[in-house]
Amino acid sequence: MPQHEPAQNVEPQPEPAPQPEPEPAQKKPHEDDGQEGEKSGWLASLRKGLAKSSSALGGGISGIFARRKLDAETLQDLEDILIQADLGVDMAMRITGRIGKGRYDKGIGPGEVKAILAEEVARVLKPVEQPFEIDPGTRPFVVLVVGVNGSGKTTTIGKLAAIARNEGHSVMLVAGDTFRAAAVEQLGVWARRTGADFISRDTGADPAALAFDAMREARAKGTDIVFIDTAGRLQNKKGLMEELAKIVRVLKKTDESAPHAVLLVLDATTGQNAMSQTEVFREVAGVTGLVMTKLDGTARGGILAAIAEKHKLPVHAIGVGEKITDLQPFDAEAFAAAIAGLDREPS
């Protein structure tokens, strides 16, 4: 797992010369991307994906509420595990407040606590649940994908390209992370797998110039959707800002309304760090929506609720694995139920 610099440490520093970096635990995209159990199984797979979040929370709640009466100490223990799950202090206090109200010295079962938790999380997430949609009247529809190194940008582009290709759209993938040769190759693999066009330059080339060429080519070909991958070196905020601003400026030369979407890809395993990344990338790139990845590998899925509460940005999709089919449209209620460790579907 790549280590992420905290977003606070983003003072301008001298830009390192482009050089090969060790790859973040890079794997080739899986080849077994049959449509295994697609629709029917996806709630189950979300639960499985979020198992770590839900077992941390659900297990904690069961442990606290199985035997004890509701008192200040019980509520404090609950608040602690909610905060540990990265739900944020405000939400944690709201939930414990709601659970405590009128119930002191009475029994409350873990099931009831989980239901209230799920309800609160869903209430915050429901307004930001928004499928990722392209405007078919805009061609090419240009999607700039941003986020820190290792967050899952390239993989998410591959998964989105697969969905778009399945829907019959023509797609171009633009290897705007020109910093590392391996990043270019990785996107090229996704392009081949999904039947998307692919455009790249040598390591160290100017991503804005590449974006300009890509736009010209996409217009000439009548491509429906252009996904632009980026490097996202957060350790140098000024450099990042300049790089992204230049890409946007150049896109606007060919189409004043581009980019039509700016997706921020966040790695759920970074917990609270995802919050500060959201702040930085909103500022430098005008983010229009979120994708949260790696919810299969963490007990920290709650951070999405904290981010939604604070930033109110649309959440389009979640990544629950590395396979091509492991990108799920975001469903607030299912997510909330999974996080809370409820084993039944929310009504």
Ligand X SMILES: Nc1nc2c(ncn2[C@@H]2O[C@H](COP(=O)(O)OP(=O)(O)O)[C@@H](O)[C@H]2O)c(=O)[nH]1
Where on the chain is the footprint of ligand X (CB under 6 A)?
24-27, 147, 149-155, 186, 265, 293-294, 296-297, 319-322, 326
CA distance 149 to 231: 6
Q: Between 261 and 265, whose beta carbon lies closer to ligand X?
A: 265
**Which of ligand X, Mg ion, none does 234 bind, CB closer than 5 to 8 A by kind?**
none
Q: Which two tokens stand for residue 343?
A: 């084993």
Least separation in angstroms between CB 177 and Mg ion: 5
Cβ atoms 172, 214 nearer than 8 A: yes
- Residue 266 CB, shortest distance to ligand X, in Å, is 10
- Beta carbon nearer to Mg ion, 292 or 340: 292
CB 147 within 8 A of CB 153: yes
Please choose which of ligand X, Mg ion, none residue 24 contacts, taking the beta carbon within 5 to 8 angstroms, the exact cut-off set by kind. Answer: ligand X
Closest CA to 151 of 281, 332, 13: 281
Q: Give min distance, CB of 73 to ligand X, in A.
A: 37
- Binding segment for Mg ion (CB under 5 A), chosen from 87-95, 114-122, 174-182, 260-268, is 174-182
Structure tokens at 305: 């609720």
In angstroms, the CA 308 to CA 313 distance is 6
What DSSP line would sit under 258-289, residue for residue?
--SEEEEEEEGGGTTHHHHHHHHHHHHH---E
Q: Is 118 exposed, middle or buried (0-12, 13-18, 19+ CB in 10 A)?
A: buried
Stretch that binds Mg ion, among 21-29, 33-41, 132-140, 151-159 (CB under 5 A): 151-159
Stretch near Mg ion under the rule CB under 5 A, chosen from 51-59, 146-154, 272-280, 327-335: 146-154
322 touches which of Mg ion, ligand X, none (CB within 5 to 8 A by kind)? ligand X
Which does residue 294 bind out of ligand X, Mg ion, none, counting CB within 5 to 8 angstroms by kind? ligand X
Question: What is the C-alpha separation between 171 and 164, in angstroms, rounded?
Answer: 7
Minimum distance between the CB of residue 222 and ligand X, rounded to whole angstroms? Answer: 28
Hey, how many other C-beta atoms are within 10 angstroms of the C-beta on 241?
A: 17
Q: Is the peptide bond before 140 cis (omega within 30 degrees of 0)?
A: yes
Of 155 and 236, which has the nearer Cβ to ligand X? 155
Backbone Cα Rg of the chain: 21
Does position 265 interact with Mg ion (CB under 5 A)? The reply is no
Nearest distance from C-beta of residue 91 to Mg ion, angstroms: 32
- Residue that is written with structure tokens 């591959």 in the block: 158
Task: Provide the terminal-to-terminal Cα distance of the chain, rounded to the nearest Å.
Answer: 37
Among 113, 118, 172, 183, binds Mg ion (CB under 5 A): 183
* CA pair distance 284, 241, nearest whole angstrom: 5
Residue selected from 154, 230, 288, 325 as contacting Mg ion according to rule CB under 5 A: 154
Smaller CB separation from ligand X, 139 or 159: 159
Q: CB of 105: closest distance to ligand X in angstroms?
A: 44
Residues within the interface to Mg ion (CB under 5 A): 153-154, 177, 183
